[in-house]
Structure 1
């Protein structure tokens, strides 16, 4: 049995987590020049994607959509707010809840960002069908790994 056939292998290149890590770093690096043109970091882009899709939302809902904790989302929002791209305000209905929305400037950035997904496909050489297949498999993996991480799906 070769090390690639051994499910218990301790070779670095046989680790699923390392392949995911390397792929994530490479894809994020491919996004960097595209997002630099927009003046955004990758995490800031993800925040804006949620706001463009959903409109005004709570910080809690935003954190849930991004699979991040409040402590990670809060500094992101602070930087986006300082840049004039989002606004935060306490909910009139629930003082404990903070609402977040894209500003007019943040909404305008959406038009410029429309080229990002297609440019990424070009940069990676993947076609839309390959991306759809990969995305489906990765979401399936994420769903199946949740119980092992002590999360509920």
Structure 2
């Protein structure tokens, strides 16, 4: 059983490093995301049900004719999400440095690999929750007509 846990942790860690090595997404919504985390994948359950990402809504603010009150609320949502991105990015970076140090000094043991592997999972869960909350709050700011218009603008941009 011990070797199975070790292999699982090493696989998780390897996936994290591979994901971190991928080219960065340059869109506003993805900017500042923790290494190895994809905002679009984290938000998919929300965006698929008409709860848009706040950064993408702000991209279309003129076409959506957002009011001053809506802009203020959207700015607050984005600011909160960006703070969470920065906080979690810092935590992920420290976690990765610790793992790298454990391997570099040949002190990697099953127990500490499990601990740091699970810790990364907690950071990803925390980031997903922050993204989903931001999508929920964004949908509350917009009118149904604005959500429909936003989705049409995105559809046209994808074509």
TM-score over 0.5 for the pair: no
Higher relative contact order (CA 8 A, sep 6+): 2
Give 1 or 2: higher helix fraction: 2
Give 1 or 2: higher strand fraction: 1
